[in-house]
Amino acid sequence: MARTTSSSTGGPSAPRNRTPQPLPRRRRTAGDFVKAFLAFVALAVLVFGVPGALAFTVGWPLPGGAPSLDWLQQEITVGTFINVLTVVVWLAWAQFTACVLVEVKAALSGVGMPGRVPGAGGSQLLARQLVAALLLVGATAASFAPGLSQFGQSLEGNQKPASAASAQQTPGGLFGQEQAGSAASAVAEQAEQAAAHAGSSTAKDGDTKYYRIQPPEGRHHDSMWEIAERHLGDGRRYKEIYQLNKDREQPDGSRLSEASLIRPGWIMEMPADAHGGELVEMPDEAPKVSQDVKEQISDYAKSGQQGGGAKEQGGGQQGGGSVDRDTAHITIPEQRPTESGAQQEAPVAGSGSESEGFSFGLPEALIGAPLLAAGLLGALGRRRRHALWQSAMGAVGGRRGMEPPTPTGDAADVQDALLVGADPEGVRLLDLSLRGLAASLAEESRALPTVYAAWLSNGDLHLQLAQPAGRPPAPWQLGQDQTFWMLARTDAEQYEDVDTAAPYPGLVSLGTLDDSRLLLNLEAVPGVVSLSGTEADRAAVFASVAAELATNGWSDRMTITLVGFGQDLTPLAPNRLRHLDDIEALIETMEAETRQRRGALGAAGHDSVLTGRTGPAQHTRWAPHLVLLAAEPTGDDAVKLAELAADASRLGIGYLVGTESGDLPGAAWEMEITAQGKLLAPLLGLELEAQLLPEAQQRAVVELFVDADPGEGEGGAGSGRTGATPPFLVDVTEQGRPAVYARLVGTYEIIGLDTPDGDRSPLMHEALALLLLHREGVHPRVLSSALWPRGVTEDVRDALVERLREWLGTEPDGSPRLRADQSGRLTLAKSVVSDLDVLRSLYHEATQGRGANSRAVRGRMLTDALVLVRGPLLADRPQGRYGWLTHEIVDAQLPLLVADIGLALSEFHLEKGRAEKAIEALNASLNSAPGDERLWNELLRGTHAVGDPARLQQVAADLVARSGARGVPPRTEALLDELLPTWRSGLTAVS
């Protein structure tokens, strides 16, 4: 399929990748010297000649003393009128002289824009032009250029309509089976398209818009985010401006290297759909801009045109060597045109990242692996929730507000990196897209096609098929040829959950090429995939592959066998990962499984596991088995492994094998990991930034999972620490009244602070909620990714933190209530508390503090705690905000804590025989924890104590109705049999 190009009729025009070129030095002409001389004469006349002429011809125009009443009654003569005009001229001269001084100071300093002289208007414009002409022969244009961008820019409406931007080809490629000859012809065709694109782009240069970075006004500094917000309608599009101008030389000789570091006076080329009165179209359509600025912008435009087309297309051919005729090779997927003309942001390409080059000490490997980070974070959350449930069910009435251990050191950094890098939305869309495709094919009675690889590229999902398989079901579309199926992100977002097996569970991320992420389908490779490189580098790739396969969200069941490495990775997913000691054990295991799978496929009448995944037997026997062998097999072992792998792709078995030499028998695809983190496959034309999980981060990830495992070690979440103290306790006496009190349990309310003004108020409330739920501190990048999931620049984040600090105020000793600890994490002062903090503190004080030895204190504190429960956490949070709560376990902690409080208060009342009070406390707790089995069991006991069988039968009926299809839990069923033997027969009567 030919690539879309812009046309002369106002068609799309893509942002261009250009090779930076040095700006030509502008030579001084005779005209420049004439202009400078005339400017000097004009300045001398206006600054020195005017006051001299006034003093000589008119003299002092004001009275020599205080005017009397008789002076005011005198007749107005021609001399009086001349004196009044002379005063006006003196004032105009003073204002103009002030303008000249301001412009000269700004021009000579070269810093920022000149200040505005009140009421000057045209006077300052004239002074600026004269000073610019005078200094033109003695200083570079950059020394005073910041002041020239305002010429003629006071009116909106000077701009031509913005043209739409075109589709830009995404660098990268997909695996195919075309021969070397067709690949060469494809490259030639792409070169022709590049030339055509370059020609059409040149034709449109006259419509290109430029923006000049504005000087600071007070504390406000221009930023790319605000420029994008004003002129593109969305601050998140600042990355487009950055990519258009990256590394190009600016008028002052410096270059743009980081999106957050821009200077007044710099020129920014803007995307084609930019709009607004501060923009100029160059070089011929800016009548109100000075000639000097026209020349600078024209030179800047020329610096981006040379070599642009070549560079844009250069990314299409990666890796050296010739293409192997006997195996698959890389081809280039084409990106569909977007309606706005801008590249859509890939849902998995570092969506939580900020401006380029900032890591803040967090592990970049995990920040740059959004699918892996999302899988690990989701699995960790499930592990912690399971630990909470086990602790609750294992100690009925005996829990003490157990909290998962707070990570420290490397584990804390890794957890922060997971929070920053994770893209759960990208994982969700990938899973919906693949399952939706499988369901659509099943409805049409079509088999799943064999997929070698998938690219996630600028929001779209591209699948490369092993061979053409006809037209894909809607909304999927054919890509550039019959072996590409493509789904736009907007179409993927329309998918809903379907009950079908995961069609391609063997997909795993290998790395990125520019903005595109490659996922290789390990179970579909026709043979062994070999990986060469140093042992440490190979281990980092193997660990990344194993961790993502073990925790990803687009698979159902699978087995991952690790040999020669990764025994410590098994805590990530004990039900998926298994470790074998040596190659002999692996071959014995895989020979047996290969025979079993061949027999099962034959008995079922399937050619491959793919046909089984879309039929009636889709949930049986067709889960993939992926083997990750870090140790290189030799001799007979290598031959046997090659024989097993020869038929593995149709059986749903994949092999990734490490090798020192790079020469492995039976290797279908050969890859190499370099010390620089590049994943190379020259015969495939592949060169990626590899996705890695280095050893130190591997250990830290495993530590997080081990600490979350029930019963694992002294610090484990399920270690029975029923007497553990919450991480943050509040003084619950009258003397402990907080300065700022936030109600999070129920409707979000803040007491002690005024509501912030402006659009930032919701963000500040959300940031405060995040900090209140993490008293241990929040890393600035975690805060940034939580509030702006698609990324934001440092200056925007820091500005919000500063506003938040000012909003929260200071302590009586002058220290801020929002501060940073030694690691840079943001923490709140103890005087800023939430009702959740008070809830935990009241329960702890009632059961382990003063209430442990005083019945009256225990009853009062438990009652006060239950009153605080007004509903679920942040019950009224707006849709689309607080997405970071999906990574938290507080939604599981809060109902368990409320149940603990209800159980303790029920026990308190039952000790004195107050069954009705106990039932009241249990019912109040059930409003927030309706699925807690412990509450239902105690409610049955309490109702039984009242001695009303009909009432007990009604409670049993309510319990059965809530249990639904799952049925009553065994422990509760046994209790019902004990308290109400006739409960089953009475259900029909009650209903």
DSSP per position, 25-88: PPPP-HHHHHHHHHHHHHHHIIIIIHHHHHHHHT---S-SS---HHHHTSPP-HHHHHHHHHHH
Residue range 17-28: mean pLDDT, rounded = 39
Spatial CA neighbour of 159 closest among 297, 242, 282: 282
Distance CA 840, CA 861 (A): 11
pLDDT bin (cut points 50, 70, 90) of residue 700 is: very high
Structure tokens at 819: 């501060």
Cα 249 from Cα 847, distance rounded (Å): 68
CA distance 405 to 377: 16
Choice between 540 and 635, residue whose per-residue pLDDT is larger? 540
Greater confidence (263 vs 505) lies with 505
Indicate the range of 283-297, 378-392, 690-704 predicted with least confidence: 283-297
Question: What is the rounded average pLDDT of the residues 823-829?
Answer: 92
Check residue 354 and give its pLDDT.
Answer: 37
SS3 802: helix
pLDDT confidence of residue 149: 25
Spatial distance between the Cα atoms of 888 and 871, rounded to a whole number of angstroms: 18
Rounded to an integer, what distance in angstroms lies between the CA atom of residue 921 and that of residue 902? Answer: 5
The answer to whether residue 296 scores a pLDDT higher than 50 is: yes
Distance separating alpha carbons of residues 71 and 60, to the nearest angstrom: 17
Q: Which of 3-17, 320-334, 876-890 bottoms out in mean pLDDT, i.e. has the lowest?
A: 3-17
CB 892 within 8 A of CB 399: no
Instruction: Round to whole Å and give the CA distance between 940 and 973.
Output: 11
Residues 674, 631 contacting (CB under 8 angstroms): no
Q: What CA–CA distance (Å, rounded) separates 929 from 856?
A: 26
Q: Which tokens hold the place of 816?
A: 């801020």
Output the pLDDT for position 158. Answer: 32
Cα dihedral sign, 886-889-895-901: negative
Q: Six-digit token pair at 375?
A: 């899988």
pLDDT tens for each residue of 973-985: 888 888 888 887 7
Q: How far apart are CA 403 and CA 410, in angstroms?
A: 20
Are the C-beta atoms of 316 and 269 separated by less than 8 Å? no
Q: Two tokens at 245?
A: 């101008």
Q: Worst-scoring range by mean pLDDT, 57-66, 899-908, 936-945?
A: 57-66
pLDDT at 263 over 80: no
Render pLDDT for 106-154 as a digit per residue (tens, 0 to 9): 666 544 456 677 777 777 778 877 877 776 655 433 322 222 222 223 3
- Give me the pLDDT at residue 551, please: 95
Question: Which tokens hold the place of 68?
Answer: 């009397």
Distance from C-alpha of 276 to C-alpha of 632, rounded to nearest angstrom? 62
Give 377-391 pLDDT, tens digit per residue: 999 999 888 888 777
**Rounded to whole angstroms, how far apart are CA atoms 750 and 765?**
9
Which residue, among 628, 632, 626, 666, has the nearest Cα to 646 in the 3D structure?
666
Task: Give alpha helix (H) positions in 605-674.
Answer: 609-613, 635-646, 648-651
Residue 331 has what pLDDT? 55
Listed in sequence order, the DSSP H helices in 204-348 are 224-231, 238-245, 291-305, 308-314
Per-residue b or e along 862-873, where b marks 16 or more CB atoms closer than 10 Å to that residue's CB: bbebbebbeebb
Question: CA nearest 168: which of 304, 338, 420?
Answer: 338
Residue 656, beta-bridge partner list: 529, 628
The helix, strand and coil proportions of the chain, stated in percent and rounded to the nearest 5, come to: 45, 10, 40
What pLDDT, on the 0 to 100 scale, is given for residue 122?
75
pLDDT of residue 786: 92
Contact (CB, 8 A) for 594 and 584 = no
How many Cα atoms within 13 Å fall on the side-chain side of residue 468?
8
* Rg for the chain, CA atoms, rounded: 36
Of 807, 734, 821, 733, give the one whose Cα is nearest residue 775: 821
Instruction: State how far the Cα of 270 lies from the Cα of 209, in Å rounded to an integer.
Output: 6
- pLDDT exceeds cutoff 50 at 443: yes
Q: What is the dihedral of CA 190, 191, 197, 202, to 10 degrees?
A: 170
Tokens representing 206 are: 């006259």
Classified as helix, coil or strand, 407 is coil
Report the 3 state secondary structure along 660-705. CCCCCCCEEEEEEECCCCEEEEHHHCEEEEECCCCHHHHHHHHHHH
Q: Give the C-alpha distances (Å, rounded to integers) separating 280 from 206, 275, 298, 447, 913.
A: 10, 10, 11, 56, 83
Range scoring the smallest mean pLDDT among 131-140, 362-371, 568-577: 131-140
The answer for 971, left when phi > 0, alpha when psi is -120 to 50, beta otherwise, is alpha
At residue 226 the predicted structure's pLDDT band, cuts being 50, 70 and 90, is confident
Compute CA distances 121 → 116, 126, 128, 511, whole Å.
Answer: 9, 9, 11, 56
Do the beta carbons of residue 328 and residue 180 sit within 8 Å? no
Minimum mean pLDDT range among 308-317, 380-389, 519-528, 656-665: 308-317
Contact 427, 348 (CB under 8 A): yes
* pLDDT(102) > 50: yes
Range of lowest pLDDT (11-20, 563-572, 631-640):
11-20
Q: What is the mean pLDDT of the chain?
A: 76
CA distances from 320 to 323, 324, 442, 687 (A): 9, 12, 41, 9
pLDDT at 17 over 50: no
Tell me, what's the pLDDT at 827?
A: 95
DSSP classification of residue 746: S
pLDDT range class, residue 664, cuts 50, 70, 90:
confident
**Is pLDDT above 90 for 740?**
yes
Asked whether residue 580 carries a pLDDT value surpassing 60, the answer given is yes
pLDDT on residue 27:
52
User: Could you give the CA distance from residue 438 to residue 167 in angstroms, rounded to a whole number?
Assistant: 29
8 — pLDDT class (breaks 50, 70, 90): very low
Which residue type does 830 have?
A: K
Q: Compute the distance between CA of residue 67 and CA of residue 81 in angstroms, rounded to an integer.
A: 17
DSSP for 717-729 reads: TTS--TTPPPSS-
Whether residue 655 has pLDDT greater than 70:
yes
Give the distance from CA 338 to its chain's centroid. 21
CA angle, residues 271, 274, 279, in degrees to nearest 5: 105
Pairing of strands 507-513, 516-521: antiparallel
Residue 371 clears pLDDT 80, i.e. is over it: yes
Please determine, for residue 856, whether its predicted confidence score (pLDDT) is greater than 50: yes
Give CA separation, 739 vs 736, 764, 828, 833, 986, in Å: 9, 17, 12, 8, 55
Contacts 24+ apart (CB under 8 A), 50-55: 50/89, 50/93, 51/90, 51/93, 54/86, 54/89, 54/90, 54/93
Q: What phi and psi, each to the nearest 5 degrees, are found at residue 536?
A: -65, -40
**What is the enclosing helix (H) or strand (E) of 596?**
helix 583-604
